[in-house]
Amino acid sequence: MAKQSGIIPLKGTIGNITFYKSGDGYMAREKGGVDAKRIASDPAFQRTRENGAEFGRAGRGSKLLRVAFRQLVQNASDRLMTSRLTRTMMEVIKADAVNGRGLRNVIDGEAELVTGFEFNNNGKLSTTLYAPFTGSINRVTGELSVNIPSFVPANMVQAPAGTTHFKIVSAGAEIDFENKTYVSQQQVTAALPWDNTATAVIDLLSTVTANSTHPLFLVLGIEFLQEVNGNMYPLKNGAFNALSVVKVSGV
């Protein structure tokens, strides 16, 4: 593919060249490819069909995880988050040592590989919240919790310019990738001032099904606010909010 240059950007098809707009700008590429019916039946494309099947499962798994945490993700994500998460899910699927190529899936893969995934590369939790925290998952009780000892915000939170307050957010989810269902619960602190006053101890507890046999995911994040005339507003539409998968318990 090539990037368009010129005063007037083009969209559509001229001859064998297709012009379109992507996240990287206006692009152009040559039409072509193999007939879909041939890909679906020709033995020469067996590997292609296998790769396609697994990529499809990665995409569906990525979507289910995003939906389970939708309320938090929509406040803390970058424009490439979906594709990045799908790539991570492909790594999970490729770690499946049970099923053959083309049949590998998220359930039999290594869901723990999602640990550390940052939903917003423009505001990573790892470079935003320096206060120590502990994340824990109890499968027996279905409790997913985060504990953050008292800390001084001005020292332990790297806040963007204009910040007056912030919230710590967390959520736990139980995801059934096979049946495409989930159970999730989120917790959010009150708006905390970003200053030199130490916070109280923060305990955030989310509950899912006790004794679940599905993968469990725990996320932790921070949202930045600006107080104007007594009202709290998301700072820069949440562009620097952070959200990360801090703990995973696979099957």
pLDDT class for 108, splitting at 50, 70, 90?
confident
Is a pLDDT exceeding 70 seen at residue 178? Answer: yes
Sign of the C-alpha dihedral computed for residues 114, 116, 118 and 122 taken in this order = negative
DSSP state string for 174-187: EEETTTTEEEEEEE
Percentages of the chain per state (helix, strand, coil), in multiples of 5 = 25, 35, 40
Is a pLDDT exceeding 70 seen at residue 44? Answer: no
3-state secondary structure of 44: helix
In this prediction, residue 23 carries a pLDDT of 66
Overall pTM > 0.85: no
pLDDT class for 19, splitting at 50, 70, 90?
low
Residues 18-38 have a mean pLDDT of 64
Give Cα 242 distance to the centre of its chain.
11
- Please tell me the distance from the alpha carbon of residue 119 to that of residue 110, in angstroms, as a whole number: 19
Q: Where are the beta strands (DSSP E) in the chain?
A: 2-3, 12-14, 17-22, 25-30, 134-138, 143-148, 165-176, 181-188, 192-193, 202-207, 216-228, 231-234, 242-249
CA dist 191 → 141, 165, 231 (Å): 29, 6, 11
Is a pLDDT exceeding 70 seen at residue 6? Answer: no
Share above pLDDT 70 across residues of the chain, in percent, rounded to a whole number: 82
32: left (phi over 0), alpha (psi -120 to 50) or beta: left
pLDDT class for 3, splitting at 50, 70, 90?
low
Is a pLDDT exceeding 60 seen at residue 22? Answer: yes
